[in-house]
Structure 1
């Protein structure tokens, strides 16, 4: 389980690293997906290759709104350039997106097979950190702000806002939960169906029955073992692993569990006997940590920040990382292409939203639909940005627009 030096040194600037929590690769060429729905006023959906450019595009009136994951939903209202129209769990049709899946915790099949106790311990660490997030949201928001921006400002061109304030606003809209329930797995399978329609899936998941898709995507055995250890208050000490173990993540508040587990390592060590102890505790964003269980060093962890979910999945495909926190579409797409990765559990639910310009007449979804129809009739259809084709956000905005009688054109 060794990593190349090149992979260990992957780094990304904040504005680039925040852009790709839930993006899938560009759909292949071939029979094109229809880009215009058959009826209704038209809305243009444009893809910005992540969320980084969105605040600047909104603030300069190049787009009328966007759908993004947190903390980008809270940037416009704090900067005075936009307002939140709706959070993702409340998007239409009513109840459709409540508790929708988002990011997941994954491991390679090789790690699960060869080092099951290690995988169980890492899973337990994420479960305990998620519990801490729920119980200490304000402190956790500050930890994430330190990791992402050194507690400084998020800056996008002329737009600059406090990272701490943004994250404290964002945290209540993200549901940090882990349990891989049947309902949660079924919700992920709905994204499999959507990705097929977008022609992203061309391999094992292209035509597979739902039961076969679940078998390919999920292995919840480590979650069950980890949750049992947490419930009993006793974490089993794994056999120490030789060589570095890679843990991939994205610079997003959705992956706060990892940041909290590392920054609060002493608390977890003293309370539960398990810790991700940073080699440099003073670093705002450590790149190496030791997995400690019951006072024993089990593994050296190389913490790899990626610029996109597909990049992390590629590192998994080459066994350069063994764990990753990533959006569910990249994990689904990677498994479809043959990457030996398994989804172990959820990291978070919901956590996205739609924002519109500050001077927009829209104050809720119904008035947004009316605005869209008015603009379309005038020959100036609304332009709404999404992070990437096939992303969670793209699927949701398309579905909600079309369910409201609005057609979608890519542009």
Structure 2
């Protein structure tokens, strides 16, 4: 019955007391199309018992998997969901637009202390591509390290670049709500820790994700059965080589690649290392002798760039966006992309099923959050859990949007709910 209630709630657009323009209605229609394309088909492994008050005394939460994070603010603005868990800048956009409020940042999700400085995104490389082109991958990695340092040294400039890439420096618009992309990105950037150091604490926190994936039944192959998961997951040689290149300030020009290289990424603030490397290519060219020069210098979001080392073109690079991490890993599995910025859980899951990639180094930590509808009785996870129970007891279980099954946000939310004894159902439309 609760499955029916959740589905009924999500398909009923509650427009009372809302002034919706024709543009807003069009946006909502587009959202619904995206949802049909992106919803999951199977029930969550965290919800093995029927969602009844007897079997789930702490309540039930429905998770609606969307096609990326773009549909989330319109869904929240039109009361079709009660909240969403997303990456930046969509977390900040929900608050800046006044359609939502922060319930909890990912670092404070349960179990207590588990995710205090959790990994967020990593850089992955196909093993065969690295074996054939180690110098290229090492030089590209040196650019990533230099771009990370740029973000930390120049946060305001980086915010402007990211806002340009993500929105052409125009407003983020969700239905009839519009907010400044520059303001949103500037406020969101400090919630992310940009780092490339695969430290012992970083590896330990990544191991927590492996455990979470095992506990939820997502990982059960190579990684789960390995006596040395680190050997299965990582190859830090590109990071170590990149460090040496940066420190020596000596770029060796590799032989030009005959084939175009494709690099995957998300329209997420986490992947700003790519954005600043491309948009401020002249700085990196002049400072390090390495650059990703966009072929179209006028494009807000370039799709093709020339990889330059010491002023010489080494490769043509296609920049390939996707809706969520699992989509990127599908592209990696088919060799449609050779390298990618991607969330930790999708990378682990892909390796677990035999996708021939390796994690080369971190890209960033933190940077996700759970946003709930404005005015909800929620200030932290404990009050969110109490709200979830209250709504379940009333026969109106909460519905929370997440960006795709197996994404970092999806995994963290499901694990947090499980840790709090809250049952999960997958909402289908």
Coarse TM-score class (shorter-chain normalised): 0.7 to 0.9
Residue number in structure 1 paired with 2:298:
282
Task: Map 1:225-264 to 2 at 5 A.
Answer: 225-264=241-280
* 1:46 aligns with one of 57, 63, 85: 63
- By how many angstroms is 1:74 displaced? 1.0
Q: For residues 49 and 173 of structure 2, what CA distance do their matches in structure 1 show?
A: 33
Report if aligned partners of 1:27, 1:200 keep a CA contact under 8 Å in 2: no
Residue number in structure 1 paired with 2:79:
61
For 1:74, what is the secondary structure of its paired residue?
Answer: helix
Residue number in structure 2 paired with 1:194:
212
Residue number in structure 2 paired with 1:34:
48
Residue number in structure 2 paired with 1:104:
122
User: Structure 2: which 5+ runs fail to align?
Assistant: 1-26
Residue number in structure 2 paired with 1:175:
193
Q: Give the number of aligned pairs.
A: 391
Residue number in structure 2 paired with 1:379:
395
Shift of the 96–30 alpha-carbon distance from structure 1 to 2, 3 Å rule, reads: closer
Higher mean C-alpha displacement, 289-298 vs 39-48: 39-48
Report if aligned partners of 1:47, 1:389 keep a CA contact under 8 Å in 2: no
**Structure 1-normalised TM-score?**
0.87
Matched, 1:208 2:225: yes
- By how many angstroms is 1:39 displaced? 4.7
Matched, 1:356 2:362: no
Shift of the 311–66 alpha-carbon distance from structure 1 to 2, 3 Å rule, reads: closer
- By how many angstroms is 1:27 displaced? 8.5
Q: For residues 44 and 269 of structure 2, what CA distance do their matches in structure 1 show?
A: 36
Residue number in structure 2 paired with 1:115:
133
Q: For residues 382 and 307 of structure 1, what CA distance do their matches in structure 2 show?
A: 24
- By how many angstroms is 1:104 displaced? 1.0
Higher mean C-alpha displacement, 322-331 vs 41-50: 41-50
* 1:153 aligns with one of 157, 168, 171: 171
**Structure 2-normalised TM-score?**
0.83
Q: For residues 379 and 412 of structure 2, what CA distance do their matches in structure 1 show?
A: 19
* 1:395 aligns with one of 398, 402, 411: 411
For 1:73, what is the secondary structure of its paired residue?
Answer: helix
User: Structure 1: which 5+ runs fail to align?
Assistant: 1-12
Q: For residues 35 and 188 of structure 1, what CA distance do their matches in structure 2 show?
A: 29
Shift of the 366–386 alpha-carbon distance from structure 1 to 2, 3 Å rule, reads: same
* 1:85 aligns with one of 103, 127, 145: 103
Report if aligned partners of 2:114, 2:208 keep a CA contact under 8 Å in 1: no
Higher mean C-alpha displacement, 24-33 vs 36-45: 24-33
Report if aligned partners of 1:189, 1:210 keep a CA contact under 8 Å in 2: no
Residue number in structure 2 paired with 1:301:
317
- By how many angstroms is 1:223 displaced? 0.4
